[in-house]
A and B are shown apart, each in its own frame.
Chain A
């Protein structure tokens, strides 16, 4: 199965600044997913990132706030822009092991605190 390296593991940021989270996969994958987990809540899908095309955002999430890059089949970044304390969450990336397999691997998560 794929192994994901997610960085940073945690950060404390000032409001109004931006943070970029990176996910590196040790094999080529078609689809990468970015999730947010607010305190005490379940995971919510932010967007799906396909290589070579713009990310597809879920309702309630917009590109200006959460720009995503997917330059190749092994790497993606999520930026949390103009942060406010409400953005304090765990952010996770995930990949589907093979298209249509319904098997997934998750990153180790980024715990973000905005002060």
Chain B
């Protein structure tokens, strides 16, 4: 069993739909990251969470430390949101453990 698991692996949506991607982890963490990877391979950091909820534009990330679970929500999805979304657990050792990613495709 992976230490960081994401669901779903693949997600398709129509433009405008509300999207949720889930991440569960089994290790003790210092923070949890949500990352966005575009087709060229580059990664952009979206959020770093250690508790509660963060919002940036149409993106919302939440974390429940007791349940070891985090979610990334996209409101009013758009085709430009199409990417792979990765959650990563930051351990106390400066290392990250990555989930396998959720491939999102938003169609017009």
Residues of A near any B CB (own CB < 8 A): 1, 6, 9-10, 31, 33, 37, 41-45, 48, 90, 92, 94, 96, 99-100, 102-111
- For chain B, which range describes its interface: under 10, 10 to 19, 20 to 34, or 35 or more residues? 20 to 34
Q: A31-B94, A102-B90, A104-B45 are in contact. Are A111 and B40 (CB under 8 A)?
A: yes
Please give, as numbers and ranges, the residues of chain B lying within 8 Å of A43 by CB-CB distance.
Answer: 86, 88, 96, 98
Give the distance in Å from the alpha carbon of A43 to the alpha carbon of B95 in the complex: 12
The count of A-to-B residue pairs whose CB atoms sit within 8 angstroms is 62
Q: A104-B45, A106-B35 are in contact. Are A42 and B98 (CB under 8 A)?
A: yes
B96 adjacent to A37 (CB under 8 Å): no
B31 in contact (CB, < 8 A): yes
Give the distance in Å from the alpha carbon of A103 to the alpha carbon of B54 in the complex: 15
Q: A42-B98, A43-B98, A94-B96 given; name 4 further pairs at CB < 8 Å.
A: A44-B98, A45-B96, A102-B30, A109-B42
Please give, as numbers and ranges, the residues of chain B lying within 8 Å of A99 by CB-CB distance.
Answer: 94
B71 in contact (CB, < 8 A): no
A42 adjacent to B42 (CB under 8 Å): no
Q: A42-B86, A45-B95 are in contact. Are A108 and B100 (CB under 8 A)?
A: no
Partner among B41, B86, B95, B98 whose Cβ is within 8 Å of the Cβ of A108: B41
Interface string of B14-46 (1 = CB under 8 A from A): 000000000000000011010100001111110
A102 adjacent to B48 (CB under 8 Å): yes
Partner among A1, A105, A109 whose Cβ is within 8 Å of the Cβ of B40: A109
Interface string of B64-108 (1 = CB under 8 A from A): 000000000000000000000010101000111011110000000
Please give, as numbers and ranges, the residues of chain A lying within 8 Å of B95 by CB-CB distance.
Answer: 45, 48
Q: Closest approach, in angstroms, between the C-beta of A56 and any C-beta of chain B?
A: 10
A107 adjacent to B30 (CB under 8 Å): no
Partner among B41, B42, B96, B101 whose Cβ is within 8 Å of the Cβ of A104: B96
Can you report 8 residue pairs joining A to B where beta carbons are below 8 Å apart? A42-B98, A43-B88, A45-B96, A102-B90, A104-B96, A105-B45, A108-B40, A109-B41
